[in-house]
Amino acid sequence: MAAYVSLTNTSLEQQAVQPSCQQPLAARQPAKRVRLANQRPKATATVDRPKQETAAEQSFAKRMNSNYEAVDSSQSGWRLEHWSSADGPVEEASTPPSSYYMDPQAFQLETRKVFARNWLAVGHTRQVAGIGDFFTGRLGDVPYLVTRGTDGELHAFHNVCRHHAAAVAHGCGTTQQLQCPYHGWQYDLQGKFRGATRTKGIKNFRAADQALMPIQLDTWGPFIFLNFDPKYQGPGVEEWLATGGQAMHTYGMDNPDFMYAASADYDIDCNWKVYNDNYLDGGYHVPFAHPAFTEALDIDNYHSKLHEVVSFQVSPLAQQEPNSEDPIVRSITENRRAGGGEGPKFAFVYPNFMINKYELWMDTFTTIPLAVDKCRVHFDYYVHRSKADDKEFVQQMIEGENIVQQEDVGLCQEVQKGLQSPAYDVGRYVPSTEFPMFHFHQQVHRDLMR
């Protein structure tokens, strides 16, 4: 059963003084202090890398790597099923075998090789705008913590106490230091161990070895990305996004004039890739699954473009302004009147981050794997500053978005059931529209094989 988990609509007046810090997979906590907008330090855009590997970091890296080997090991007798179409071309290709969507070991392998090795969008700099702000989250079995340190920089850590592995922080908020709720070990906002009670008599104990384990962090525009691979030496996010990032900028997806409006979470009974596949079919399902949405679009001229780790779908607007009371149609019409009528742009950043950009509205969302047949989709909604006081518009956009999401949730759950049927294994791509999906599958496959 799909569970529609929550929809949080913070009023924009509240938003001005009390930043939202909703996070995927983290229990919400109210911010512990009110912060004024003019107290915000500048967002940092530097890659936050550990400078020198300590003994503890080396041992952590070793354990992570042994996990990869264990999943792949011939001793387990398990092998990822061969995907014969990985090299294409899309015109001749079949989709990956259904085991990719239902085998728990394939899911484990993805956790290690897709989610633990790529840059992943986990939040927005508004959530950690002031010194001491923090938020927590979890990707697969990896809990993380992002802070704005007293140095004004962003930092990320594994949210695991060095004493006996409790989470040192929960939810989100603002604090002067981190204190583990179990036995009270303390860490500063840069992750350094600061002290513990009753440690008299302990031997061979060096405070420098007890820091929280760092995670590499980088930003693109207002978005925070983490890379969970302790050995990652590749490019920062901007270089990694490459020409896709330049196009995202051209489309205004990093425009600072968009203000946070609300969030929503959907728990869906399907593999995370099923939800991405639905997004990446180049609009093929739109006329059938989203009839109201289709009225507002020139669906015959919907088109897609591939970049290195980003793909785009762009839909021009219907030539005639539709006359409908449906919230999604009305809201697209309002967007149309406000701008050049170019229509929405949809970006997919591999492996699980999506941005839908309208003239006056933007939503971002991440597909978070929970189990081989379960994922959570976390949405953040943003409204253009010029429309921020128009509560009716904001409400209408949120309602319209929810209708479209509910339509997609139903389809995705049906697909997961179908994938589990003994009658189905692989399907074909419709190459003229579904090539972004094929590109996504190739990227997943490439990661699983390396």
Nearer to ligand FES, 168 or 398 (CB): 168
Residues touching ligand FES, count (CB under 6 A)? 9
Among 49, 164, 206, 417, binds ligand FES (CB under 6 A): 164
Nearest to 354 by CA among 298, 293, 436: 436
Residue 35 is a binding residue for ligand FES (CB under 6 A): no
Least Å from the CB of residue 376 to Fe ion: 17
Within 8 A by CB and 6+ apart from 77, the residues are none
> 26-39: string of b/e by CB count within 10 Å (b at 16+)?
bebeebeeebeeee
As a whole number of angstroms, the distance between CA 115 and CA 107 comes to 10
Quick note: the x/- pattern for ligand FES over 168-187, rule CB under 6 A, is: ------------x-xxxx--
Nearer to Fe ion, 50 or 316 (CB): 316
Residue 363 is a binding residue for Fe ion (CB under 5 A): no
Quick note: the x/- pattern for Fe ion over 218-257, rule CB under 5 A, is: ----------------------------------------
Least Å from the CB of residue 379 to Fe ion: 13
Choose the one of Fe ion, ligand FES, none that binds residue 185, judging by a C-beta under 5 to 8 angstroms depending on kind.
Answer: ligand FES
Nearer to Fe ion, 326 or 408 (CB): 408
Quick note: the x/- pattern for Fe ion over 379-408, rule CB under 5 A, is: -----------------------------x
Least Å from the CB of residue 414 to Fe ion: 13
Choose the one of ligand FES, Fe ion, none that binds residue 408, judging by a C-beta under 5 to 8 angstroms depending on kind.
Answer: Fe ion
Whether the CA torsion 111, 117, 121, 126 is positive or negative: it is positive
Least Å from the CB of residue 189 to Fe ion: 40
Least Å from the CB of residue 293 to Fe ion: 8
> 269-306: string of b/e by CB count within 10 Å (b at 16+)?
bbbbbbbbbbbbbbbbbbeebbebbbbbbebeebebee
Q: What 3-state DSSP class applies to 134? A: strand
Within 8 A by CB and 6+ apart from 351, the residues are 114, 115, 118, 120, 276, 440, 443, 444, 447
Q: Which residue type does 85 have?
A: S
Q: Bridge partners of 220?
A: 223
Least Å from the CB of residue 178 to ligand FES: 10
Nearer to ligand FES, 161 or 328 (CB): 161
Residue 166 is a binding residue for ligand FES (CB under 6 A): yes
Q: Is the peptide bond before 230 cis (omega within 30 degrees of 0)?
A: no
As a whole number of angstroms, the distance between CA 373 and CA 366 comes to 16
Least Å from the CB of residue 365 to Fe ion: 12
The vertex-378 CA angle with 377 and 380, nearest 5°, equals 140
DSSP structure class, residue 77 = T
Least Å from the CB of residue 437 to ligand FES: 44
Choose the one of Fe ion, ligand FES, none that binds residue 55, judging by a C-beta under 5 to 8 angstroms depending on kind.
Answer: none
Residues that bind ligand FES (CB under 6 A): 161, 163-164, 166, 180, 182-185
